[in-house]
Structure 1
Amino acid sequence: MTRSLSQKFRFFTFVCIALLAYVHGYNLRDTYLNPFSTVDEPLTFTAFFEYLFANGLLRFRIPMLFLISGYLYALYDHRPYSQQVKGRFRTLIIPFLIWSAFGLLMTFLLQQIPYTANILVKANLDQLGDNRPYTEIGWVGIIKRWLTAPIAYQLWFLTTLFVFNLIYPGIRWLVVKIPYIWLPLAFFYFFFIFNLPFIDSRGLFFFSAGVWIQKKNFSVEVQPKWFSLGLCLITFIGLSVIKTFMAFELEPFDFRTAKTPTSTAVILTVLYQFSIIAGILSMWFGADRVINRIMNKEWFHNVSGFSFFIFGMHVPLLPYVMTWAMLTFSFLPFHRLILYLLVPFLVLLVCIWTAGAVRRLAPKLYSVLTGGRGF
């Protein structure tokens, strides 16, 4: 792998993880956004802006991370399978267990203070829908949340990626032997969101695509002659804007009851998925000048090494801080928009500062928390 490609991977890994703060930091009434989510509130600039970014323009990140992961895993698949799996257990599952426990501990400590306990109830972050104090839930409930439903909900990415690494020999065989059958099937699975346990639809297709690109030795550093960056950007932004307007105007679709027409879900999902593909291509081939300039900056090189620590720490911290800020600063004009712009950025700064302090004062602990990344 060339140095320029390595820098590009490092840049986008950091950017994709840092932007998670703005995907998870919105303050719309609907606290969980699906590709087909509509907006149950008036069309205002703030609501439009938050939905456009949180459920539109920034949604290319996770698929891009899976794409990069597939490429890198395929690049080093000459290593023995058992060695690969043991290494990924250390770099994925152990950090998953630690950061999941950290989220539970943070939540438990905040539950002991009446003021912050009220904030946690309003944040409504529990993945199992039970926001009672952990002292009432008991050890069985806590262990279940630790292993299967983390309060740090972003950690699903680690377990999903580990499963792909476990079944990698099968994915590699399909990608190498029957790519023109497997990739369309994986794309169909991605496009219509047929999620099976631990087999995320976005992850399977883009991880497989990353493996395919590496195995076919396609150049991903030079923009293809057939590719039009301008047209791709217009498509990316245009589809995201159109989808956002439709999310306010279309009849809501409840996927749990399906009492309303499925046309809403189909339209929004189609726009969402095509915008993701256009977004990945636009960002990958359109950011070269930015990457060449910023990767030479020492401060960015240092900060980008904290990517995994930011990923592990930012939730549940961010939702709790956002809930507190919404309760505290509701008297300000345009407080929702101001807080959406400021709170995720401040949480990122806290994560970066904490990561730097831990790496400096306890490098061994930092290595365990990040799976050996960031040195």
Structure 2
Amino acid sequence: MEKATSAKLRVLSFIAMIMIIYLHSYNLAVKFNGVDVPIAKNYNSFVQVFISDGITRIAVPLFAAISGFLFFYNFKPSTQAFLNKYKKRFNSLFIPYILWSAWGLLFFFILQILPQSRKFFNSTLIKDYSLNKLLEVLFWDPLPYQLWFVRDLLILVLLSPIIYLILRYLKIVGLLLFFVIWLFDFSLLMLKPDTIFFFSFGAYLSFHAQAFLQSRYPGLAKVALVLYIVLLMVKTWFFQINYTPNFAPFLLKGVIVCGAFAAWYLYDFVTENRDISNSTFYQYSGFSFFLYAFHEPVLTLFKKGTLAVIGKSQVAMFAAYLVLPLIVITLALITGAILKKYMSGFYSLLTGGR
């Protein structure tokens, strides 16, 4: 893969990761002692919904599409080739998944036995888990809830021969089948429709990698960006006036399509004639996976703890929403850098060799 393409995928993944953290920074539905904080429709709700239920919603599709593209890029199908892919993904996905899931269990267990933090937990305590429940949480329903995406990727990797056959022999018809699954939110093998379609979409693009990577649509990308913002404004305004039209799910789909298209092609416009690999931002982007795995449950703990201390006024919630992600990102980057420098082997296990 060309250096420029590799850098593009890495930087876009890092931007998507920052989006994920702001998606999870949403605090309008935070519970205290089992009670939801009331949502007042004002500047705070508008900004949080516009960003966390709008701008950031392209992050997971981007991750899934990039994962599908990289899995099948220059792929020559054979039984051995798929087995080699399974082995690599075991190291890069399954091992980090289990390690971070176990870390979540330990982290929550410690917090639940401390009097100062016990009040923030309303569900069953880990010390009261049965063995079956413990195994379920460790392997299937991890407490760091963002790991659902890695779980879905692991399933998609196992299903990759089937996905390959569908896309290779049904071609665009096969892709349309996956698109319909996403468009109408059909559940399939407990996988989220977003990951099914966009992983398959990335795989389909990898079959036509040369034409895809050489394509440039700056004009269409600018139009897509305008549509992205307009659709986001409309969607957020509907939320503000407590109106949910029948086409609301399709409105969100339009936001995702326009936003992802704009992000992919405007990147080339922004970085034209620049070697992005020399930038500080590019160096930070190497910590994308660590940032993904580390930020929860740390961010949730910070949210609940901060609002418990400074109060739950609209100003406090708005300030927490904007500032806490920056603190968590900084903490994650510092922690990741220290581990990478002084415990490189362990860091490699945690990040799947990334």
Cα distance in 1 for partners of 2:57, 2:161 equals: 29
The equivalent of 1:261 in structure 2 is none
Distance of 1:137 and 1:162 partners within structure 2: 26
Relative to structure 1, the CA distance from residue 222 to residue 77 in structure 2 (aligned partners, 3 Å threshold; closer, same or farther) is closer
Which residue of structure 2 lines up, in the alignment, with residue 133 of structure 1? 125
Q: What residue is the counterpart of 2:12 in the other structure? A: 12
CA offset at residue 294 of structure 1? Answer: 7.7
Question: Per-residue deviation at 1:265?
Answer: 6.8
| Alpha-carbon shift at residue 177 of structure 1 (Å) | 1.3
Residue equivalent to 1:260: none
Following superposition of structure 1 onto structure 2, how do residues 87-126 of structure 1 map, counting pairs within 5 Å? 87-121=88-122
Deviation track 1:96-122 (CA, whole Å, cap 9, x = no partner) reads: 11101101110000111111111233x
Once the 2 structures are TM-superposed, how far is the Cα of residue 247 of structure 1 from its aligned partner?
2.3
Determine the structure 2 residue equivalent to 1:259: none
- Partner residue of 2:235 out of 243, 258, 264: 243
Query: Does the Cα contact within 8 Å between 2:140 and 2:151 map onto a contact in 1?
Result: no
Q: 2:202 aligns with which of 192, 207, 210?
A: 210
SS at match of 1:27: coil
**1:372 maps to 2:347:** no
Residues 217-263 of structure 1: CA deviation (Å, up to 9, x unaligned): 323344237x5223211111111111111123345xxxxxxxxxxxx
When normalised by structure 1's length, the TM-score is 0.86
Task: Tell me the CA shift for residue 307 of structure 1.
Answer: 0.8
8 Å contact kept, 2:66–2:199:
yes
1:220 to 209, 213, 233: 213
Moved more, 148-157 or 177-186: 177-186
Pairs within 5 Å for 1:165-204: 165-204=157-196
Query: What is the CA distance between 1:61 and its match in structure 2?
Result: 0.7
Displacement of 1:180 after TM fit? 2.5
Instruction: State the one-letter code of the partner of 1:15.
Output: I
Q: Is the 8 A contact 1:11 1:291 kept in 2?
A: no
CA displacement at 1:196 relative to structure 2:
2.4
Q: In structure 1, the residue corresponding to 2:247 is in which secondary structure?
A: helix
1:289, distance to aligned residue in structure 2 (A) = 4.6
Report the Cα distance in structure 1 between the residues aligned to 2:230 and 2:68, rounded to whole angstroms: 29
Matches within 5 A, 1:340-355: 340-355=321-336
Of 170-179 and 152-161, the range deviating more from structure 2: 170-179
Paired AA for residue 339 in structure 1: A
**Amino acid in structure 2 at the alignment position of 1:335:** A
Q: Is the 8 A contact 1:99 1:369 kept in 2?
A: yes
- CA gap of 1:331–1:173, structure 2 versus 1, over 3 A, is closer
- Cα 1:197/1:28, change in 2 over 3 Å: farther
Structure 1: tracts of 5 or more residues without a match? 32-38, 122-130, 252-263
Give the whole-Å Cα distance in 1 for the aligned partners of 2:314 and 2:45.
Answer: 14
Q: Going by fraction, where is helix more abundant, 1 or 2?
A: 2
- Cα 1:270–1:333 change in 2 (3 A) is closer
Residue type of the alignment partner of 2:49? Y
1:277 deviation in Å?
0.3
Aligned-pair CA distance for 1:297:
3.8
Equivalent residue for 2:34?
Answer: none
Tell me by how many angstroms 1:20 deviates. 1.1
Instruction: Give the secondary structure class of the aligned counterpart of 1:243.
Output: helix
1:305 equivalent to 2:286? Answer yes
Tell me: CA distance 1:353–1:137, structure 2 relative to 1, closer, same or farther (3 Å): same
- 1:50 is aligned to 48
Structure-2 separation of matches of 1:198 and 1:145: 16
Amino acid at match of 1:29: A
Please show how residues 353-364 of structure 1 align to structure 2 within 5 Å: 353-364=334-345
**Which of 293, 301, 306 is the matching residue for 1:320?**
301
Query: What's the CA shift for 1:30?
Result: 6.4
Mapped pair 1:288 → 2:268? yes
1:232 matched to 2:185? The reply is no
1:258 counterpart residue number: none
**Which digits, 9 at most, give the CA deviation of each residue in 1:332-352, with x for residues without a partner?**
771111110100110011111
1:266 and 1:213 mapped to 2: Cα distance?
32
Q: Distance in 1 between matches of 2:144 and 2:314?
A: 31
Q: SS of the counterpart of 1:157? A: helix
CA distance in 2, matches of 1:333, 1:72: 43
Q: Relative to structure 1, is the Cα distance of residues 24 and 326 closer, same or farther in structure 2, using a 3 angstrom cutoff?
A: same
Worse-matched range after superposition: 16-25 or 75-84: 75-84
- Measure how far apart 1:140 and its partner are: 3.1
Letter in 1 for 2:304: T
Deviation for aligned residue 1:291: 4.1
- Match of residue 22 from structure 2: 22
Aligned mates of 2:162, 2:312 — CA distance in 1: 56
**Whole-angstrom CA distance in 1 between matches of 2:5 and 2:100:** 30
* Aligned partner letter, 2:183: F
Aligned-pair distance for 1:19? 1.7
Instruction: For 2:12 and 2:108, locate their aligned partners in 1 and report how far apart those are by CA, in whole Å.
Output: 31
Check conservation: 1:120, 1:320, Cα contact below 8 A: no
Is the counterpart of residue 156 in structure 1 residue 148 in structure 2? yes
**TM-score with structure 2 length normalisation?**
0.91
Q: Which residue of 2 aligns with 1:80?
A: 81
Correspondence for 1:279: 259
Once structures 1 and 2 are overlaid, which stretch shifts more, 199-208 or 307-316? 199-208
